[in-house]
Structure 1
Amino acid sequence: MMKYFLLLSFMIFGLNSFSQSVEGIWETYHEGSDKIKSDVKVYIQDGKLYAKIIKFYNMPEAEKNAKCTACKDYRKNKPVVGMIFMDGLVQSGEEWKGDAVLLDPKNGKEYDGVVWLENENKLAVRGYLGWLYETKYWKRK
C-alpha cells in the first residue's frame, strides 16, 4: 500500500512542477502603478521563448494604435499590438536568456534579457544595458 501512495505522490508532484511554465497570457503594469498596461502572450517555439503584445489598457487611443517608428529591423512602422518584442530567448536552467532579445518599441532599442518564474503566477523580466538592469514583474492572467 505504501508503494502506491509514494507512486501517486511522485506523479502528483511531477504534474505540479510540469505545470509551472512561463507560457501563457501575462498582465503588465504601468510604472509605479497597479493599473494594467497590456496583455502579453508568452510562448515557446522551436525551443526558444517569444512574447508579443496582444492588447493595451488604460492609455489613449493613439498609443493603443502606435507603430514602431524607431525600430530598425523588420518591425519598422509595424503596429506595436501583435508585435514580437521578446525574441528568441534560450533556456538555461530555470531561466531564459539572450543577447539583444528585448525590444522597447518606444525607442527601437534592443536589450539583453533574462526571464524567470518567481512563482506560478509571477514572471520576472529583466532587461540589461551593460551592467545596468531593470526588472519588471508580470502577473499571470
Structure 2
Amino acid sequence: MTATRWLGLATLTLLFATNALAQAPSALGRWTTIDDETKKPKSIVTIYEEGGKLYGKIEKLFREPTEEQNPLCDKCEGTLKNQPILGMVILRDLKKDGNEWSGGTILDPANGKTYKVKLAIEDGGKKLKVRGFIGIALIGRTQYWMRAE
C-alpha cells in the first residue's frame, strides 16, 4: 500500500470515528417518566449538565384532576421536606462512565428515599434506562424513560 493510499485511508477512518462520536446519543434533554403501576406518563424530567456532571429536575407532573396539582414532598427529609415536587432536582452528580452515567443519586419523591443510580441510552437515544439501587446495581429497580418531544 502506498503512503498516499495509507494516509487517505487513515483520514477517512478518523473522519468516520469523529462523526460517530459526535452523533452519540446524549442523556441531556427532556424525558417522560412512566408510572410503574399504571404505565401512564408520570412526569417530565429535564436532564442538564453542570460542572461536568448530570442533574435532573422535575419540569412537569401529569396529575389527575382530583389530585393535588402541586404536591409537596412530605416524605422527603432535610431541606427537601415539604418542598414542591415540581422543580425539584431528583438526579444528582452523575458522571460519564463509558456508555453510561453513574456515581450519582436519584430521589423518589413518592417515598422520600434516595438511591444510587445508573443511566444508559437505548433505542438510538429514544429511551433512557434508569437503574436505581441500594448497594450494588443487582439489587434495585429499572425504569425506562422516553425522550419527550
Q: TM-score, normalised by structure 2?
A: 0.78
In 1, distance between residues paired with 2:140 and 2:63? 26
Relative to structure 1, is the Cα distance of residues 40 and 12 closer, same or farther in structure 2, using a 3 angstrom cutoff?
same
For 1:117, the equivalent position in structure 2 comes to: 121
**How many residues get paired?**
137
Q: Give unpaired runs (5+ residues) of structure 1.
A: none
In 1, distance between residues paired with 2:21 and 2:100? 19
The CA deviation at 1:23 is 0.2
Q: TM-score, normalised by structure 1?
A: 0.82
In 2, distance between residues paired with 1:84 and 1:73? 14
Larger Rg: 2
What amino acid maps onto 1:128 in structure 2? F
For 1:30, the equivalent position in structure 2 comes to: 35
Aligned partners of 1:29 and 1:36 also within 8 Å: yes
Pairs within 5 Å for 1:1-141: 3=8, 6=12, 9=16, 12-17=19-24, 20-60=25-65, 62-98=67-103, 101-119=105-123, 120-131=125-136, 132-141=139-148
Q: CA RMSD in A?
A: 2.4
Q: Give unpaired runs (5+ residues) of structure 2.
A: none
